[in-house]
Amino acid sequence: MLGSVTWDEALVQRYGQFGQLHCSYPAAVDFSDRVAPLDLLRALRESRRGGRPLSLSIHQPDGAGLQPEAAAAYLQRLEREIEQLGCHAGPLQAVEQLRLSVGTLGIEALRRLLNQLKRRFAFVEPHAGSFLAEVELAHVDWPLIGALHELGFNQLSVAVPDLRADDGGTVEYFRSSARIRAVIEAAHALHYRSVNLDLGYGRSWQTPSSFARKLASIIELAPDQITMFDYRDAVPAGVGRLGLASPADTLAMYRHGVEQLSAAGYRYIGLGKFVLPHDDLAMAQEIGALHHDLCGYSLHGDCDHLGFGVGAVSRVGGLFCQNADRVPAYQRALDQGQLPCVRGLHANHIDPLHRLLLERLLCTFALDFDALSLQSGVDVRQRYAQHWPALRQLHADGVIVLDDSGLRVPAQARLLVAAVCAAFEQPGAVTIGHSAGNTARR
């Protein structure tokens, strides 16, 4: 049954090193084309002519809002970008999905930003769309949750930090479930459709027992979604691994999380996301309507996506583009009256079959080769002929069940779907030796 997952120690030890980087196509590391603002405007023209629905995301840079002047300057540039792109959206292009990183924006700044969005874009009614606000535990309270609800948000995602008292960070670290309880109670009282908690594991001051206790206290609060992530995946490339737990302790925390959440009745959607059976994502997965896009798992796979802010990624038709990932460059482009997009991929450099195949794996844990060939116009068996030895190895090890018609990932291997994605990315990846318990990205 979809949603069920079990822990297989031997398989995790062998294939647990494949991270989520293998699951995204195209990923930011693939963005090798120079994409000019005119390219994006042309793609938007085609989107407008086709009347395609829209998805939006608003990004905050790291540290934005800590200094009031910097926050005001960044908000001003966001409004300019919204103005420049919004005027190219058609009146029939309804926004079905919005994801907003709140950061330390105050209520008045949020109202100003949402008013700007609603002046430029037509939104569906809240009951028909997915409007998610991402908040930080240290910066959220009842008034903020109420204001976000008034602005039309119907989903809430809360980052649950795990910083030591002497870590030197400014974000309040986890002491008890009291603050999280207040957030969830506020969201439920205001009838938010779902509440997600982001929960990291693998810091050096965490232990398997302390993580298990923390997770148990969170499960008692019954958030609709819990997204577990390995802190190793959050460390940028080239940054030292200080502050991280040993691979053995990290693996033990991961196992505690999987087993505790499964025992509590959560269903496994994929990529670390567990949801209660009533959640929209669980129901969409059951009927084959789940998608995976630039915002993660989604109900709105037919939307073109516009990302606003530093480093934001947009996908319009077959064009992918990314904004400048440094605040000065992002703001300088907008000050010069230009859109800040700098890189990406043009449609003729993207493999649509590969994109479709990875999305089906992530959403259904199965592939129907004939259906994929019919939908893409490309013979799947021929396109991936050189990958067959790796797939047969996965079949022999119990990671997949492979036959002539397709493949499926059984419950005991669904935590390892990244290894299956990697087999389609790099034919020899799954046969490369690795150290047991290493769950870091490569």
Q: Is 69 one of the annotated binding-site residues?
A: no
How far is 331 from 226, CA to CA, in rounded Å? 35
| Residue 147 identity (one-letter amino acid) | A
| Pair 337, 344: CB distance under 8 Å | no
Cα 289 → chain centroid: 17
Determine if residue 198 is labeled as part of a ligand binding site.
yes
Beta-bridge partner residues of 230:
201
Q: Locate 137 and state its tokens.
A: 């535990």
* Interatomic CA distance for residues 17 and 431, integer angstroms: 12
| Cβ atoms < 10 Å from Cβ of 34 | 12
The four Cα atoms 187, 192, 196, 197 give a dihedral, to 10 degrees, of -10
For residue 312, give the nearest of 56, 20, 30, 33 by alpha carbon. 56
Length of the chain equals 442
Whether 19 contacts 440, CB under 8 Å: yes
Structure tokens at 339: 């859109």
Q: Give binding residues for S-adenosyl-L-methionine as ranges.
A: 134, 198
Q: Give binding residues as ranges.
A: 134, 198
